[in-house]
């Protein structure tokens, strides 16, 4: 650089390269917090619940103390929006006493975004990994890779493949950025990734990460989060004092149950922000600035308008051909009515209600399973050649898909062809095979919580999911009679009441 004239085009390129090289925190480390009890206190102070995540972080701390180095596994927090994935990572950095950097990779589709450009190109710059290490100012930060399931790829390369080297403990000790062209040690960085949907993470990348699932919050968890975290935060954010506003417990509960329907607490926070803003207007217009505004359940209509959520409710009467199934989405669980009608026809199956490929296959497998049991249940096998089976799932505007509706569709088909009613105080989940076996499903906590919300007390769950019930909160299990089923015969025995 000293030998080059400053007007040379290579001068600025070389200067940029040297400055980047010197800006990196070579050999600079922060001292980790070794007090496990204090670390747990910091995590508990910032977040309610999430015990599995907190335990895992404390375990990491213990291993780091015994071995003197970071454990090789990369953590990946998977869960619906608003459950606190990003904020828990900030708390982890605080608990470990490490610097925190965040890289959002949603929509990144260029491989050079991760690995940088070769410095011979015009406008060359380092990749975002090296750039963020410059911002971290230490060799051992907590590095958050946000929205890892939303990466894309195109003709310029596959950034998910470029991340493989970064997230592999065996390879990242000598990470080579195309711009730097010297090895950089990432082995002391605590990488944590977040994602909404585990299915969208490429398999080779998923193989390098330890997945920790953050499920949706129950009503009691939301209540404690609202009271301890959200409301104090919104009061301060909107310029109010604690003496100027207070919330009744039944008002908080009503906001949770009647104005929000979500897995996390993001929308709940918005509702409290709305109330605080409206109270701020009252405070400004009131000559008595010290007056305390008490928010009761009756006041919510004035502040938030009428109820925004239409709650799922159990069917009023036992009917023929109607079964309550259970659904799972990113906003939590729901109770789904599955309706079946038999009409004169030639043995076809009609499917309506905007069903995806998986549910269409479930319906066909369910029909085959019922036809296989026809003689056992005194149904005429020839009857199926003279009728068409119409399966409909209401709310046609909403796309529905997933492997958990098979047993409910089979029950509804049997009910329709036999003329026998289905218990209205019962919901069920589970995929079915053409031999009538009931298979395990996912999202059990959200689905069972939907039953509690709807007032349904009996639920049929695949026997393969029995171990998952132990992890559920008592708020769910104490209010439900959970019956485990292995096959369609057991399902019909529990569901059919005639």
Annotated catalytic sites, by residue? 404, 447
Dist CA 181 CA 474 (whole Å): 55
- Going by C-beta distance under 8 Å and a sequence separation of 6 or more, which residues neighbour residue 289? 244, 283
β-bridge partners, 142: 100, 190
User: Are 260 and 271 contacting, i.e. CB atoms less than 8 angstroms apart?
Assistant: yes
212 near 77, Cβ under 8 Å? Answer: yes
Query: Cα-flanking dihedrals φ and ψ of residue 154, to 5°?
Result: -150, -160
CA distances (Å), origin 3, targets 13, 81, 400 = 14, 55, 67
Q: Cα separation of 177 and 264, whole Å?
A: 37
Q: E-assigned strands of 348-435? A: 349-352, 387-392, 421-422, 426-428, 431-432
User: Interior CA angle at 92 toward 204 and 445, to 5°?
Assistant: 65
- Please state, in angstroms and rounded to a whole number, the distance separating the CA atoms of residues 368 and 355: 18
Instruction: State the CB neighbour count (10 A cutoff) for residue 198.
Output: 15
CA atoms within 13 A on the CB side of 379: 19
- Distance, in Å, from the CA atom of 337 to the CA atom of 314, rounded to the nearest integer, reads 9
Q: For 217, which DSSP code?
A: P
Contact call for residues 82 and 264 (beta carbons, < 8 A): yes
The backbone torsions φ and ψ at residue 298, rounded to the nearest 5 degrees and listed phi first, read -70, -25
């Amino acid at each position: 650089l000293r030998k080059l004239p400053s007007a040379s085009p290579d001068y600025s390129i070389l200067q940029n390269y040297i400055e980047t090289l010197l800006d990196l925190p070579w050999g600079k480390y922060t001292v980790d917090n070794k007090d496990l009890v204090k670390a747990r206190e910091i995590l508990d102070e910032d977040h309610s619940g999430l015990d599995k995540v907190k335990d895992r972080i404390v375990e990491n701390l213990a291993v780091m103390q015994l071995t003197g180095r970071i454990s090789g596994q990369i953590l990946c927090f998977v869960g619906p929006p608003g459950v606190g994935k990003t904020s828990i990572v900030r708390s982890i950095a605080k608990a470990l006493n490490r610097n925190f950097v965040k890289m959002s990779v949603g929509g990144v589709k260029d491989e050079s975004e991760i690995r940088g450009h070769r410095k011979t190109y015009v406008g060359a710059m380092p990749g975002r990994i090296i750039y963020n290490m410059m911002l971290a100012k230490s060799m051992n930060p907590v590095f958050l890779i946000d929205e890892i399931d939303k990466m894309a790829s195109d003709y310029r390369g596959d950034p998910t493949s470029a991340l493989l080297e970064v997230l592999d403990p065996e390879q990242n000790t000598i990470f080579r950025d195309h711009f730097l062209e010297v090895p950089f040690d990432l082995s002391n960085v605590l990488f944590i990734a977040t994602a909404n949907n585990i299915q969208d993470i490429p398999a080779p990348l998923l193989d390098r990460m330890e997945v920790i699932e953050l499920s949706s919050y129950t009503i009691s968890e939301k209540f404690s989060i609202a009271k301890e975290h959200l409301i104090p935060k919104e009061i301060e954010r909107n310029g109010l004092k604690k003496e100027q506003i207070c919330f009744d417990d039944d008002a908080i509960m009503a906001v949770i149950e009647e104005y929000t329907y979500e897995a996390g607490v993001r929308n709940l926070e918005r509702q409290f922000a709305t109330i605080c803003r409206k109270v701020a207007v009252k405070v400004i217009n009131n000559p008595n600035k010290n007056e305390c505004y008490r928010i009761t359940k009756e006041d919510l209509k004035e502040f938030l308008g009428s109820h925004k959520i239409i709650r799922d409710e159990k069917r009023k009467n036992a009917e023929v051909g109607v079964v309550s199934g259970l659904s799972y989405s990113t906003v939590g669980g729901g109770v789904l009515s599955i309706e079946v009608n038999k009409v004169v026809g030639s043995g076809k199956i009609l499917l309506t209600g905007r069903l995806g490929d998986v549910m269409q296959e479930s319906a066909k497998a369910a029909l085959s399973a019922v036809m296989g049991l026809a003689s056992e249940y005194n149904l005429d096998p020839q009857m199926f050649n003279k009728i068409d089976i119409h399966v409909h799932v209401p709310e046609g505007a909403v796309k529905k898909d997933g492997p958990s509706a098979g047993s409910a569709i089979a029950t509804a088909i049997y009910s329709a062809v036999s003329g026998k009613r289905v218990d209205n105080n019962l919901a069920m989940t589970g995929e079915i095979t053409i031999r009538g076996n009931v298979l395990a499903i996912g999202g059990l906590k959200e689905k069972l919580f939907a039953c509690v919300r709807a007032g349904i007390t009996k639920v049929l769950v695949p026997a393969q999911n029995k171990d998952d019930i132990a992890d559920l909160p008592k708020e769910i299990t104490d209010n439900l009679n959970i019956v485990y089923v292995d096959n369609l015969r057991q399902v019909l025995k529990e569901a059919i009441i005639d």
